[in-house]
A and B are shown apart, each in its own frame.
Chain A
C-alpha cells in the first residue's frame, strides 16, 4: 500500500473553500485514492474516491493530476460541521480490503 503524506492540521472559516492535498509518490497502477472523514467519537465516513482527473459528488470534489502522485480534496463553502479529521487512503483493495489509515488532517472551521 502506498504511503500517504498530508498536513497534520488546517484552519478555515465558514463559507470558505478548503483544499487538502495528499502526497502519494509511490502510488501503483491499480491503486485508487479514497478520502474518509471522521468526527470525534464516530467511525470514519466515506467521502469520495477516484482514479484520475476529477471526481465530484454532493459533498466534495477530488482532483488528481495526470501523474497521480498527489490528490486534492476540495470542500466547497465549509461550515462549522465540517470540522473533522480527513484521511487520504491509497490502495487497490481488491484482495482483502484492508484500509490503512494515517494520522489524517485535522480541519478546524471557525465562525
Chain B
C-alpha cells in the first residue's frame, strides 16, 4: 500500500530557529496538505497545495510558515522562527484529487516537533 513518508520523525529545536519538515507524498497524488496536532488536542488544518501554489491556508499558517515543492517528489513545511507553541505533531497528507475518492486522504506518520 502506498505511503506518505515524513522525515524526521522527531525534531528538537531551539526557540527562534528555522526548521524544515519534509514529506514525500504518494507519487500520483496531486494535492498536498499539512496538518498539526498539539498534544491532547484536535488535528488542525494548516495549508493545502495544488499545482505549485497554496490553495487554502488556515489562520494558523501565518508569515512564519511556508511550503514548497522543490522537486517532483518532496513537499516541505518551513517554520522560519520557531516558538514554544509550535511544538506539535505535524502531519503531511496527500490525495489524488481534492474531492471524493474511495481511499480518502493518506496521512504520513508525522514529525514530532519540540521547541525548547
Contact = CB atoms under 8 A, between A and B. Distances in A.
Interface of A: 32, 34, 36, 38, 41-46, 49, 87, 92-104
Nearest to B39: A41
15 contacts: A38-B43, A41-B89, A41-B112, A42-B110, A43-B4, A43-B107, A44-B107, A45-B107, A93-B98, A94-B98, A97-B31, A98-B33, A99-B33, A99-B45, A101-B44
Given A49-B104, A93-B99, 7 more contacts: A36-B104, A38-B43, A41-B109, A46-B104, A46-B105, A93-B98, A94-B98
Contact of A34 (B44, B98, B104, B110): B104
B108 to A, nearest CB: 5
Contacts of B7: none
B95 interface: yes
Contacts of B42: 101-104
B68 interface: no
Interface string B86-116: 0001010101001110111111111010000
B98 A95 contact: yes
A98 B104 contact: no
Main secondary structure of the interface of A (DSSP, over half): loop
- How big is the B interface, by class? 20 to 34
Nearest to A87: B43
A43 B93 CA distance: 9
Contact of B95 (A41, A49, A97): A97
A43 B99 contact: no
B99 A49 contact: no
B58 to A, nearest CB: 8
Given A38-B43, A41-B112, A44-B43, A97 B99 contact: yes
A81 B33 CA distance: 27
Contacts of A102: 42
